[in-house]
Amino acid sequence: MLGLLLAGAAAATALPSGPAPIALPDYEGGDAYVFSDGRVERVISSSGDTVIWAGLSGPTYTRSRNFIVPVLSWRSGRGTGSREVHGNPDALWPMARPRSVRFRVVSETRTSPEASLKRSVALWVCKSGKLRSFTVKAGIFEAIPVVCDRYSSTTMRLIERREWDYAPELGHYVRRVTINYLRGSKREVELVAALSGPAASSARLSALSRQALAERSAPRRPD
């Protein structure tokens, strides 16, 4: 009897006291995600905390594994851009409970190789929430909402808000909302499909992208 009691006590001790910590996303080359606006995000390669991404066409761009960090380097036409992050946005992880972080981002851009360098600084404040259920076109996911606010470094005015719903089981966000307070605009997209390996062929991704665009532009039926 004592042996059974001790075994039961040991089992009870081994039980987790709360939700398991959720680590940073871990991407592999060939992973691909299609969103409701037709956008395709493809992982070209991943090394350490840095991931190289690309769309269906166009140049690659570099991001942190931590999706709350803005794009680190990119090319657009003849223009280029890069960013440096000051602070520790990774302190938001592991997401065992709601947390908040602050960090500063310094951006440098050129519209062409001959153009002068433009520099700007932004302050970001990000908060994570509690795991809850989200329904998107790709299905139903248990996801963690994350909200990031960008402020002017000179006036501290709120400029932009970005929201993500991150699904740990998938290892990527299933919904993204961007609100630009200066322009008065809001853009929301949700995951349509997630593929990897041979399934993420260019032909398949192109077809899913076209389908998403067609569904987005189709007129809605009245309720």
Tens digit of each residue's pLDDT (9 = 90 or more) over 86-104: 999 999 999 888 999 999 9
Fold (CATH) for 25-215 = YmcC-like fold (2.40.360)
Summary mean pLDDT of the chain: 89
Would you say residue 112 has pLDDT above 80? yes
Per residue in 5-19, pLDDT (tens digit) is: 333 333 333 444 456
pTM of this structure: 0.85
**What CA–CA distance (Å, rounded) separates 177 from 166?**
12
Residue 167: closest CA among 197, 138, 208: 138
Q: Find the length of the chain.
A: 223
